[in-house]
Amino acid sequence: MAKDPVRVLVTGAAGQIGYALVPMIARGIMLGPDQPVILHMLDIPPAAESLSGVKMELIDAAFPLLKGVVATTDVIEACTGVNVAVMVGGFPRKEGMERKDVMSKNVSIYKSQASALEKHAAANCKVLVVANPANTNALILKEFAPSIPEKNITCLTRLDHNRALGQISERLNVQVSDVKNVIIWGNHSSTQYPDVSHATVKTSSGEKAVRELVCDDDWLRGEFISTVQQRGAAIIKARKLSSALSAASSACDHIRDWVLGTPEGTFVSMGVYSDGSYDVPAWRVDYRPRTSN
Q: Are strands 37-42 and 193-195 parallel, antiparallel or unpaired?
A: unpaired
Query: 36 vs 133, which CB is nearer to ligand NAD?
Result: 133
Rounded least distance, CB 270 to ligand LMR, Å: 15
Q: Which stretch binds ligand LMR (CB under 6 A): 57-65, 78-86, 231-239, 249-257?
A: 231-239
Q: Which stretch binds ligand NAD (CB under 6 A): 2-10, 12-20, 171-179, 214-222?
A: 12-20
Q: Binding to ligand LMR by residue 99, rule CB under 6 A?
A: yes
Q: In the chain, where do the E strands start and end?
A: 6-11, 37-42, 66-72, 84-87, 126-129, 153-155, 179-180, 183-185, 193-195, 200-203, 206-209
Candidates 8, 30, 125, 131: give the one binding ligand NAD (CB under 6 A): 131
Candidates 154, 157, 243, 250: give the one binding ligand LMR (CB under 6 A): 243
Q: Which of 40, 161, 188, 254 is catalytic?
A: 188
141 Cβ partners below 8 Å, 6+ apart? Answer: 87, 110, 113, 114, 117, 127, 129, 148, 153
Rounded least distance, CB 94 to ligand LMR, Å: 9
Q: Binding to ligand NAD by residue 9, rule CB under 6 A?
A: no
Distance from C-alpha of 115 to C-alpha of 148, rounded to nearest angstrom: 10
Residues within window 121-160 making contact with ligand LMR, judged by CB under 6 A: 132, 159
In sequence order, the β-bridge partners of residue 9 are 40, 85
Q: Let me know if 40 is a catalytic residue.
A: no
Q: Are strands 193-195 and 153-155 parallel, antiparallel or unpaired?
A: unpaired
Binding site partner of 154, from ligand NAD, ligand LMR, none, Cβ cut-off 5-8 A by kind: none
Q: Taking the CA atoms of 38, 76, 18 and 15 in sequence, report the sign of the dihedral they define.
A: positive
Residues within window 224-283 making contact with ligand NAD, judged by CB under 6 A: 242-244, 247
Q: Which stretch binds ligand NAD (CB under 6 A): 126-134, 168-176, 189-197, 213-221?
A: 126-134
> Which residues are annotated as part of the binding site?
12-18, 43, 93, 99, 106, 130-132, 163
Q: Binding to ligand NAD by residue 17, rule CB under 6 A?
A: yes
Largest alpha-carbon pair distance within the chain? Answer: 62
Binding site partner of 28, from ligand LMR, ligand NAD, none, Cβ cut-off 5-8 A by kind: none
142 Cβ partners below 8 Å, 6+ apart? Answer: 114, 148, 150, 153, 273
Distance from C-alpha of 46 to C-alpha of 151, rounded to nearest angstrom: 34
Rounded least distance, CB 1 to ligand NAD, Å: 36
Distance from C-alpha of 242 to C-alpha of 251, rounded to nearest angstrom: 15
Nearest to 34 by CA among 11, 72, 64: 64
Whole-number CA gyration radius for the chain: 19
To the nearest 10 degrees (0 to 180), the angle between helices 245-260 and 16-26 is 40
Query: 236 vs 255, which CB is nearer to ligand LMR?
Result: 236
Nearest position to ligand NAD, beta carbon: 15
Residues within window 189-228 making contact with ligand NAD, judged by CB under 6 A: none
Candidates 25, 29, 121, 130: give the one binding ligand NAD (CB under 6 A): 130
Which residues are tagged catalytic? 188
- In the complex, the residues that contact ligand NAD under the rule CB under 6 A are 11-12, 14-18, 42-44, 47, 88-93, 102, 106, 109, 130-132, 134, 156, 159, 188, 242-244, 247
